[in-house]
Structure 1
Amino acid sequence: MQEIITVNPANGTELYRYRPMTNAEIEDRLTAAAAAHADWRRVDVRRRCEVLSEVARLLRAKQEQLARLAVAEMGKPIAEARAEVEKCAWVCDYYAAEAPRALADDIVEAVGSRSWISYEALGIVLAVMPWNFPFWQVFRFAAPALAAGNAVLLKHSPNVSGCAVAVQEVFIEAGLPAGLFTTLLIAEAEVPETVSRLVSDERIAAVTLTGSNQAGAHVAAAAGRAVKKSVLELGGSDPFVVLDDADIENAVTGAVASRFVNSGQSCLAAKRFLVHWSLLDTFSERFAEAVGRLQVGDPMDPATRIGPLARADLAAALHKQVEAAIRAGARALVGGGLMDRGPAWYAPTVLADVTPDMPVMTEETFGPVAAVIPFEDDEDAVRLANLTPYGLGASVWSRNEERALALGRKIQSGALFVNAVVASDPRLPFGGVKHSGYGRELGTAGAREFTNVRTVVVT
């Protein structure tokens, strides 16, 4: 069986080799998870949450070690990697405090009866996770799932296998009983068949995936055949709408922050910048100038804003999208190509003269590329914003909040931010509509997502 090899995308050097698990070893982990869950679901929720508090403490104690691991495996700038680990500690703290309330019985007044709604663990949750936020993507679903009394099997992206192993080690060190959180190391060629087999196993109660639409369709089909709960957080092509009365300096600052976080590798990053024609030239010029000042360099340098993409093939795919746009008439105001630092490096790019039919508008661009397109009026802005199969987030920028809200409500998205960059927050539900997926993580909704919402009536 072919080894799993992790590689530093900044310089192409090999980091570590992992032996994939055999089917028999995966079966052992599944059996252990089922046994562990049978006991864990009976543990008081407050005791379960004590473990999350200890996980949060350990994450902060190991922040530098974990951040450096993320930098090495997927090229995330170190300042952002440190912030990611802290955010994972925050979500553990949040659910340690919130889960007992969110999972408590809801008393319902019904005539002639005593009735309530209880939130009970489903069982084992299989998670298929991506590489772009190797810690956050895991903790944002695992913390509430474990607090609710579930067990977790994690199939992480191969290129961040070290991060996946490290997450399991943190949970074990925090005192989580053995078998409740298990990382599965699966050879890439074996992933589709193995995931389908696991989803169909009666011991798996639900499956969650964050990733591509192709992977999401595969998992959703497997879950549908098995009649299992599934939650999908898929791609995004978020619109960033700049109305004619927007504060242009704030809008430019927000545009840079939104598009170029994680070197542009974020599902909820703004990707399509819709600007009223009267502000188009000014916004485009200032946006391109600000992007041109972003520091590109060693991701271990705290001053670096843009590092390499996670893999060379991702940079090559992004460049094809940019080249297709330029051939169709778009102009690169800054950037526009691969860099000579290595095959995974792509220059921060702003494209102008973009039209709705170009790949940078019709497809998700996963990297440091922003496409700017003008609109005529509010109705045209809504039309362009909705001209995508995705519906994850949207932001609208205007000095008139009510106008921005009225326009934003017409955009199909799971999140709407006014004069702010779209971001996830442990206290607020997160997820999408259309081809961006379904189900919700975070907030009270996330605490209850992997539970049986059970009605109890006593007459």
Structure 2
Amino acid sequence: MTQTQASTTIDALSGVPRGLLIGGRWVEGEAGQEIAVTDPSTEATVATVAAGSVADGLAAVAAAHDALPGWAGTPPRQRGEILRRAFELMTARAEELARICVIENGKTLADARAEVAYAAEFFRWYAEESVRLVGTVQRAPGGANRILTFRQPIGVSLLVTPWNFPLAMASRKLGPALAAGCTVVLKPASETPLSALAIARILEEAGVPAGTVNVISSRRSGAVVGAMLDDPRVRKLSFTGSTEVGRLLLARAAQTVTGCAMELGGNAPFVVFDDADLEAAVDGAMIAKMRNGGEACTAANRFYVQSGIADDFTAALVARMNALRIGSGLEPGVDLGPLVNAESRDKVASLVAAAVDFGARVATGGGRPDRTGFFYEPTVLADVRGNAPILREEIFGPVAPVVTFRTEEEAVAAANDTEYGLVSYVYTRDLARGLRVGEALDSGMIGLNRGVVSDPAAPFGGTKQSGLGREGGHEGLLEFTEEKYVSTDW
């Protein structure tokens, strides 16, 4: 790490809390179990934060449970004003938050700035949604009584977030939970705890009462999350992460019949038809593939390109990938940062090697640059067979496998041939075809001539083993409520 990088790191991290937030107090965690935070671009430890134990997790649940009546009883407008202040504070500190994100996650500063803006918007959106928990009244069909329904906060909510979007995944869960009147325990990924701690400090400043938001980082995530999930006071689990871990948590939650919202893995197809605008399709491919360096559940994972345009598309994609500059996200002009850790980099390398063994051709990239950090070159694989193993796995890195297809039916069948169903991308100038294919694709979201689908006002979520429930939009608010029915007559 250079002297300039070290100085930048110290400045960015100087105001971030390093403890556990339990009941409105910042406390030390488990003795001798601190979490070391690594800068993926230098492989150097840049900070240590407290690591919570099972006892700490249960203390956080107790604090959230004690705070629940007061927060649930707070007028919706007042809750909304607190969220609005959180939005304003995040916006005012956007550059500071972006640099924190780059240092612990490795993404470029441009990506981190975009994430801060996206993350803050969830607080603004749910500040507005907090007053919109409406009910219904109707006369029973038989005429004997009235049917009244209304929404109440579901209760103490456990929020488990991943490392790839440490700011946005926290605010996407915190915003609706707090707007609905729930109290929460936030468990961030151990790779990126600093972003979550910075958001917690902002919520404190915005006026969230003590115990309403609790934060537990931990080196023993499975044991701590499991113990909290076993506590009957926890009534909601909102988890973003791998499908494998999601299955385990669903089974654990079944023991207490705890409600679950799951945003799990993806294997997004990117379908390009012959009549597509080539330049627009390549622009979209670069966004869908290379946003956050490919470390996104929404990342385009499989490129299906119709035979008439396949060579031109591949050549254009190769040219765009070759133009990317690799480096630390804090360096000016850098387009691609490192992957989050050595394990992620090595997984990407093994997937590419296996694809080549299966007959794919490396059109560009395909290796690790000779430098410190968890870097992998932007890579395009051509001549990929339709049954190649790389098409079955979530790559989570800067690798684009290209498969050629002939007919619309063939493309839809190939795109749907996966256990995942989070998002699909379609490029065509024919609107009827785009809508027809979008309807046929088995995924929760469709990017039609767009390389990004995420929006705080839209319901984000997938089908099949990509998850349960929705985040964002009004639907995200409803995830943190229970509907109550009152039968009466007047």
TM-score by structure 2 length? 0.91
- Counterpart code for 1:34: H
Show the counterpart of 1:34: 65
- Counterpart code for 1:185: S
Cα contact 1:125–1:152 (8 A) shared by 2: yes
Show the counterpart of 2:278: 248
CA distance in 2, matches of 1:360, 1:74: 25
Cα contact 1:234–1:435 (8 A) shared by 2: yes
From 137, 145, 149, the counterpart of 1:117: 149
Show the counterpart of 1:234: 264
Cα contact 2:41–2:327 (8 A) shared by 1: no
Q: Does 1:130 align with 2:165?
A: no
Cα contact 1:415–1:422 (8 A) shared by 2: no
- Counterpart code for 1:28: A
CA apart distance, 1:302? 4.7
Show the counterpart of 2:173: 141
CA apart distance, 1:165? 1.3
Q: Deviations over 1:374-410 (max 9, x none)?
A: 1110000001101111100011111111111101211
Show the counterpart of 1:401: 431
CA distance in 2, matches of 1:321, 1:85: 31
Q: Does 1:350 align with 2:392?
A: no
CA distance in 2, matches of 1:343, 1:8: 8
From 246, 259, 263, the counterpart of 1:216: 246
Please list every run of 5 or more consecutive structure 2 residues that lacks an aligned counterpart in the other structure: 1-31
CA apart distance, 1:298? 2.4
Show the counterpart of 2:191: 159
CA distance in 1, matches of 2:140, 2:457: 31
CA distance in 1, matches of 2:326, 2:483: 48
From 70, 76, 80, the counterpart of 2:101: 70
Cα contact 1:79–1:302 (8 A) shared by 2: no
Local SS of the residue matching 2:345: helix
Correspondence 1:18-97 to 2 at 5 A: 18-97=49-128
CA distance in 2, matches of 1:305, 1:240: 22
From 343, 354, 360, the counterpart of 1:324: 354
CA distance in 1, matches of 2:323, 2:234: 49
CA apart distance, 1:342? 2.5
From 310, 333, 340, the counterpart of 1:280: 310
Correspondence 1:396-435 to 2 at 5 A: 396-435=426-465
Cα contact 1:77–1:307 (8 A) shared by 2: yes
Identity among equivalent pairs (%): 38
- Counterpart code for 2:288: S
Cα contact 1:389–1:434 (8 A) shared by 2: yes
Q: Does 1:301 align with 2:331?
A: yes
Cα contact 1:37–1:150 (8 A) shared by 2: yes
Show the counterpart of 2:227: 197
CA distance in 2, matches of 1:447, 1:338: 43
CA apart distance, 1:343? 4.5
- The farther-off stretch of 106-115 and 203-212 is 106-115
- The farther-off stretch of 402-411 and 14-23 is 14-23
From 364, 372, 391, the counterpart of 1:361: 391
From 199, 203, 227, the counterpart of 1:171: 203
Please list every run of 5 or more consecutive structure 1 residues that lacks an aligned counterpart in the other structure: none
Show the counterpart of 1:455: 485
CA distance in 2, matches of 1:58, 1:178: 19
CA distance in 1, matches of 2:377, 2:212: 42
- The farther-off stretch of 426-435 and 292-301 is 292-301
Cα contact 1:76–1:262 (8 A) shared by 2: yes
Show the counterpart of 2:11: none
- Counterpart code for 2:191: N
- Counterpart code for 1:8: D
- The farther-off stretch of 289-298 and 392-401 is 289-298
Local SS of the residue matching 1:104: coil
Q: Deviations over 1:219-265 (max 9, x none)?
A: 11111122110111111111111112111111111111110000111
TM-score by structure 1 length? 0.97
CA distance in 1, matches of 2:301, 2:317: 13
- Structure 1 residues 333, 207: closer, same or farther in 2, change over 3 A? same
- Counterpart code for 1:355: R
- The farther-off stretch of 105-114 and 435-444 is 105-114
- Counterpart code for 2:218: I
Cα contact 1:356–1:362 (8 A) shared by 2: no
Local SS of the residue matching 2:261: strand
- Counterpart code for 1:43: T
Local SS of the residue matching 1:388: coil
- Counterpart code for 2:101: A
